Amino acid sequence: MVEGTHRIVVGVDGSPASERALEWAVGEARRTGASLHLVSTWIFPMALGYAFTATVHDVHQAARDIIERAVARVAELASGLEVSAETPEQVPGPALVAASEGAELLVVGSRGRGGFEGLLLGSVSQFCTRHATCSVVVVR
């Protein structure tokens, strides 16, 4: 991870909202000279009576693919920005809050790819705005 006081953490999940958040964060990083740290989390779904054909490797690979596309998008938009990335096996909200410790800013989209929205106690963006220790931007 890129260290320093001028670091922007961006949650990416491949959704249109996270793509807009990434584009906004790139613009902010260019304007302020900050580095970017991209985070795409993944967790293997528990079966709960359903059969899954995906493996743990497949789910982790999907997160890595999302990160690779996001890093490539940053290079398209603003070559020369300092970029780091990670794909932790963790629930998105807590992972993003942890990754943003010491950062200047955390940027997330207003809606992501979460598949079990009704089962969650709150959205990722709401969790981040409540728990992050830095400023949070939610991009619509």
20 within some domain: yes
Q: pLDDT band at residue 111, thresholds of 50, 70 and 90? A: confident
13 within some domain: yes
CA distance 136 to 57: 31
> Do residues 63 and 93 lie in contact, with contact meaning Cβ atoms separated by under 8 Å?
no
105 within some domain: yes
Share above pLDDT 90 across residues of the chain, in percent, rounded to a whole number: 76
Q: Residue 54 belongs to a domain with what CATH number?
A: 3.40.50.620
2 within some domain: no
pLDDT in tens, 16-73: 999 999 999 999 999 999 999 999 999 987 665 666 678 889 999 999 999 999 999 9
Q: Which residues pair with 8 in a beta bridge?
A: 36, 105
CA-based R_g, the chain, Å: 15
CA distance 101 to 25: 17
What is the span of the domain harbouring residue 84? 7-139
Amino acid identity for residue 83 in this structure: V
Least confident of 65-79, 91-105, 109-123: 109-123
What mean pLDDT comes out for the span 77-103?
Answer: 97
1 within some domain: no
Count of the separate structural domains present in the chain: 1
